[in-house]
Amino acid sequence: MFHLSPQEFASKKEHYASLAEQARHLIAGEPSLIANAANFSALVYHSLPQVNWAGFYLYDGTELVVGPFQGKPACIRIAIGAGVCGTAAHTRQSQVVQDVNQHDGHIPCDAASQAEVVVPLVRADGSLLGVWDVDSPVAGRFDEEDRAGMESLCQVFMAHLDGSKAAA
């Protein structure tokens, strides 16, 4: 059984490195995309301070559809190019938004969310799986260290997915 215990870290970089290692162990050997995405979301949601939503939007070939997550109910569908998630999917570049109220086209799923970081999830063959989205009720919560940390977590997730030929 996996055990999540609160820890103190000297830096964000150290915290994300620990999360990446925990994620590696958590999803090891499990081929289900949905099971791994659910546990990955729970790991991050319960491990990072000042987070009110953490989860996946999965690309269905047309748009992003909400997948496994932790937090309040979310927007169900997001068009590619729309909002922070759709922009990350369209550009295939991570998005860090310090204040969602100042972001043109932000889609407010939860009025409490004030900051957001979104990482596109691209398979080894170049196809889009979806995006990883994390929100905070604190404006300015995410910075470049968080972007790099989230990208490293997503690399662990995607490497496992691509390596295991996981199916939903």
Q: Which domains does the chain have, with CATH numbers?
A: 12-164 (3.30.450.40)
- Phi, psi for residue 16 in degrees, rounded to 5: -65, -35
CA–CA separation, 98 and 88 (whole Å)? 15
What are the C-alpha distances in Å from 116 to residues 8, 78, 104, 123, 133? 23, 15, 13, 23, 7
User: pTM to 2 decimals?
Assistant: 0.91
| pLDDT tens digit at each of 168 positions of the chain | 555 545 566 799 999 999 999 999 999 999 999 999 999 999 999 999 999 999 999 999 999 999 999 999 999 999 999 999 999 999 999 999 999 988 877 787 778 899 999 999 999 999 999 999 999 999 999 999 999 999 999 999 999 988 854 444
Residue 157 class from Cβ within 10 Å (0-12 exposed, 13-18 middle, 19+ buried)?
buried
